[in-house]
Structure 1
Amino acid sequence: MIHGPCGHFNYNSPCMVDGRCSKRYPRDLLAETITGNDGYPLYRRRSVADSGRSVVVKVRGQNVDVDNRWIVPYSPILSKAFETHINVEYCNSVKSIKYICKYVNKGSDMAVFGVTNANDEISQYQMGRYVSSNEAIWRIFSFAIHERHPTVVHLAVHLENGQRVYFNESNAADRAAHPPSTTLTSFFTVCQTDDFARTLLYADMPRYYTWNASSKSFQRRKQGTPVEGHTNVFASDALGRIYTVHPNNDECYYLRLLLVNVRGPTSFKQLKTVNGQLCATYREACQLLNLLANDSHWDDTLKDSVISSSPHQIRTLFAFIISTCFPSNPKDLWVKYRDDISEDVLHRVRRQTLNPTLQMTEEIYNDTLIMIEDMCLLMANKVLSCLGMTPPNRHMHDALNHELQREHQYDIEALAETVRTNVPQLNQQQRIAYDTLIEAVNSGSGGIYFLDAPGGTGKTFLISLLLARIRSRNDVALALASSGIAATLLEGGRTAHSALKLPLNMQITETPICNIAKNSAMAKILQVCKLIV
């Protein structure tokens, strides 16, 4: 299990990239195993003076004294059992587990291919999945595809009388008067009569109780490890997972915060009662219990997200918290979690620079802050300096013009080629609509046009061609849709609610208007826009 040796001993080694070993050999000598910055351990590698060993290896006709710096991590038992070289690494942190779960277990490969001799957008693209012979046999014999252990029980979170209820015309009144129990209401019921349950948190219930889906109730386990000091109480390795609640749903979010900190509540009212005082809201109860001091609730939210979420998801959550939830000290949250938020940026820079040992730098943090500021502009139309954060170092007008820059980032030559290729393929009716709309754009006469045609007759093909024509002249054309799925059909498509800041509370506000400031980025886009789809 000796690597190489490579480097100046053998520049032709397969691991050499740009004059350096891509596997980072030789490694440093260490007296003890320590945790590395990237989530992998730096193993103990003893020097010869520290009872380490060395051996002479012949490389390209010369003798090389090889010590522990060149040894590949391995397990002697596995190497002997399988009589082969096996590189074995020790998963040292949650980052390693995240890597395995996200990249190794992604599922079967998928391929998308196009048929170029057709002009029907419905039948032009085919999507399929390749099933290898091994997987086919595995499925034919009905072998288990995956296994989960231990058992994970999802626990509901809802406000009082806020659980989801299914009903039909015949049982609507009965369901409204007597709604079925949920895991949360059943937890309250058990705590009213069971002394042991009053010592537990909500998330601990599945370990000692089973959830009966038919009777909608928790029942004590009859098998497992006996709990010392309690008769007829057995423990298992089952885990309870409380459904996550978005911070924007504030009262339900604070209810969840109480459930993970208060033991044995018997009702929603008791959760609101602190030191004999009935609070008006769950947030007030959290404040009296000091659960909201020093932004601890946002700290816990980000801490939970770091365990299981990708850097992009953590970045989106952080942007949402600072732009809409107004934490007292967002700079401290940024300093604490900036490494996790910037993890994918560091990986991208390492690949670009071919430097696998590169660590976090101020430039990487600055790139991450720019992406966070872009999200905050889309969410709340605010820059980081208005949200208590240190603004990123970029040109003065970039914060306002990034929307305009995005609309000018298309490949003009490729779009022009698309127009030249596809315009002759338009049928007569499509050509009439195309010429009419292009004439309206060129003359500046404006207007509102409605395109009506059955599914599969080429509406998307025509609209994509119109967008390409406008953008090929370096003009701005917006592609908006009412849903995210529909927006993906068009190049550069977005939902109208996010782009135009459409109001969602029209039943509350008598005179709703779009939340677009006169000097905002979207206002500048609309001023120069030639076409809105």
Structure 2
Amino acid sequence: MDAVVRGDSDCSMVGKTILLPSTHTGVPRYRAQNYQDAMALCRWAGYPDLFLTFTCNPKWPEINQMLRLIGQENDGSQVDIICRVFEIKLFHLMQHLKKKKPFGKIIACIYTIEFQKRGLPHAHILLFLHQTLKSPSTDHIDKIISAELPALEADPNGYNAVKNFMMHGPCGELNPHCPCMKQGKCTKYFPKKFNDRTNFDSDGFPIYRRRNTAVEVKKNGAYLDNRYVVPYNRNLIVKFDAHINVELCKLLKGQNTIVFKEDKRAESVLSRPDIDRTKFTEWFEANKVYEDARELTYSDFPTHWVWNATDKKWKRRQNGRSVRRIYFAHPASGERFYMRMLLNFVKGCTSFESIRTINGVKHKTYREACYALGLSDDDKEWNGCLAEASIWATGNELRHLFVTILIHCQEINEELDYDKDELKRVHETSFALLNDCQKTAYDAIITSVEKDEGRLFFINGHGGTGKTFLWNTIISKLRSQSRIVLPVATSGIAALLLPNGRTAHSRFHIPLDVTAESTCEIKQGSQLAELLKQTSLII
């Protein structure tokens, strides 16, 4: 009433702003919290194994029964009824997956609900299977996932369910105006190719069995065969009378580089039978078969073995010599860099896991394995990196590499590499010049650091009152004691006034465009994370 009397009709000018808590469905912090929960589950359960898409069927009898009860037509406008029935069906689907175990024992599951453009809800579901069900065989995949039309005579229920819910298109030449078509090609890569058996592409994802069985369905005036079938589980689509797409997830372990011509279709590239065999993966196979091959590192392997590109196999070298090298990996590329480092030392590896197994202990990351092998205890890795790059890199590339190492790889050593005797002399001179107010702040801050109180201080004063002089005195005091101090500023000019100062955005990896969901890009176990753990004071 007071606002109305004052004439404040704009509600944005009345009251105070309230940030909705993360428990409120749909707000940015709610989404961020759910994402973090999902990532925590992934850290515990590992990578997901199955991906399901469950779409609402507006012709479900429960929906029609309720519409008849209230005297309404099924025109899609009764979204409250559709959503309520879909929620009930989704609950029963999740219970069925957990208790009836059509895919085996499930240790965890995650799902999210979205709405199509026409308003129908659908759920994306991730299933995490028990460890005994990881890396299934192609025969097991064929039992739980199908991409073929059942025979009408042998399985009429399955045939009708696939016909009604699991057929894509028609698209392509049969229907160039299908919504999935873009620049004359289907964005979902239909029609697929006939395939006599299930196999895997270079990324580890399955190419499902699609035999030419001559079974067809008629849809929108066109006859469609197995090339248009969306992968499914027969019992699920029959039981729930809806579209339930089932896909196998796979870890991209190899991250192999492949070469293909630009006029090729991605589908044809991925369906090449030997695409998963590379020089690197076949090194594993050679080590499994030949005992003397296990005496060589991957970098030394070409000196005694020759790669046969036709058969995609390593064969013993009969004559000639070879100059060896491994593809360069940038220090900022993370695990790829550390794996490459290990390949210069480890021998006889038969899998990716064996590369990071040191003295019988399998480490979680290649970086941990490097530390266990003593490759990352000092500057050896960086000296070797620079020495190797100096052979082929340009001057500009070497400078960029050197700066990268300084920024990302040497932060702790850099913050401890000071002339402590000189800093003690600087501190003694500066401390004697502090006024009473500066000494009060100095004593409080140093006491907090020495007692590990973790207090927060704010020093206020106009230009020329000696704030920067106070900071420099404190910095020289703590750094002379081998303590780490991180001086930062909001601008580059201000940062230059502090010894070894950096901008806050650079030091703490703060995003330039900050939103309510923004976080500093500091990964656990990184050089910066370890530096912050050892830091005594941030200015």
TM-score, normalization: structure 1?
0.30
Greater length-normalized contact order (CA 8 Å, ≥ 6 residues apart): 2
TM-score (norm 2): 0.30
